[in-house]
Amino acid sequence: MPELHTPHGHTRHSWTKIVWLYLMLTPSLLLGWQVLTLERALIAAGLGLLTLCLGHSVGLHRGIIHRAFETSRAFRNVLVTLFILTGLGGPLSWIRLHYVRDYWQNQPDCPDYFAYRHGILRDFYWNLHLRYVPTQAELVEIPRELSEDPWLRFFERTWPLYTLVLAGLLALIGGWELVIVALCMRISAGILGHWFVGIVAHKWGYMRYAIEGAAEEGRNTFVLGLISFGEGFHNNHHAYPRSARMGHAWWEVDLGWLAIRAFERLGLVWKVLAHDRPDSGVKPAARPMPTVWRMG
């Protein structure tokens, strides 16, 4: 598939993303199922819960990017470390990508790379093999308090080393077989799962809110929301991006929100924003609408 060129920017192959993905995926496909046991799978699942829920969804996404709560520098760094151990990449790279994506998805002329007007195979190729370079980078610059934060810059430079250290610890505990399952298979599943949640949460599901002037409004999916720690209730998130709570109805089980409430009770986070206190300045205001299903 060719690279994408638009008046707003262009894509180019990201060899870092490609090499990292297939470095994890190849041993998983070749050896993973031969060494997969219940014990190793439980260890991988436990690491996935800690890193994806607390590190990615709670720490980086809701805490740092959307400032849905406040916390100490020390606890923030613990959450960032857990994010790094997801194997998804460096924190500043993800923050920059999120700012670019959020800006364009809230514009009517959103580039195809961020608007889900294409099929799943094309999105697989674009999302996991290319990176988007905006023409007007100043429109999507991240705050200096993040870009110049010494800890975040340190984590950005050293994030692959954390995976190597974890690989060594897993090898000492359970040998190379545990490394394959709890590292390679877990990271592969995390990368592919993040992509899958992203496309499903924008193409299929029900909507509670309409966001005027936005190319992408997100969709809610109960099962996806449950297994993605609340991230699958994406229409709710698009409507109230600064909310720490992504599941708005009682039956929209948001495990990330439950973790935040637990941290709040322990005094680890404070000034938590809920969906009834939206920050209307981050994205276009949303107006409630009857729950409908939209496919496409």
Residues 207-245 have pLDDT tens digits of 988 888 888 989 999 999 999 999 999 999 999 999 999
pLDDT digits (tens, 9 = 90+) for 134-155: 887 766 788 999 999 999 999 9
Q: How confident is the model at residue 13 (pLDDT cuts 50, 70, 90)?
A: very high
Mean pLDDT of all residues in 21-48: 96
Q: Which amino acid makes up residue 263?
A: F
pTM: 0.89
- State how many domains the chain has: 1
Can you give the pLDDT at residue 109? Answer: 87
φ, ψ (nearest 5 deg) of residue 70: -110, 150
Which among 243, 248, 283 is positioned nearest to 63, based on CA atoms?
A: 243
Tokens found for residue 278: 């939206």
Mean of the per-residue pLDDT values of the chain: 89
Q: Indicate if the pLDDT at residue 292 is higher than 90.
A: no
Lowest mean pLDDT among 154-168, 235-249, 255-269: 235-249
| Predicted local confidence at residue 155, as pLDDT | 97
Task: Give residue 78's pLDDT band: very low, low, confident or very high (50, 70, 90).
Answer: very high
Helical (H) or strand (E) element with 12: strand 9-13
Please give the residue range of the domain that contains residue 282. Answer: 5-295
Closest CA to 219 of 108, 209, 182: 209
Structure tokens at 276: 């009834």
Structure confidence at residue 91 (pLDDT)? 97
Average pLDDT for residues 22-51, to the nearest whole number? Answer: 96
Cα–Cα distance measured from residue 95 to residue 54, given in angstroms and rounded to the nearest whole number: 16
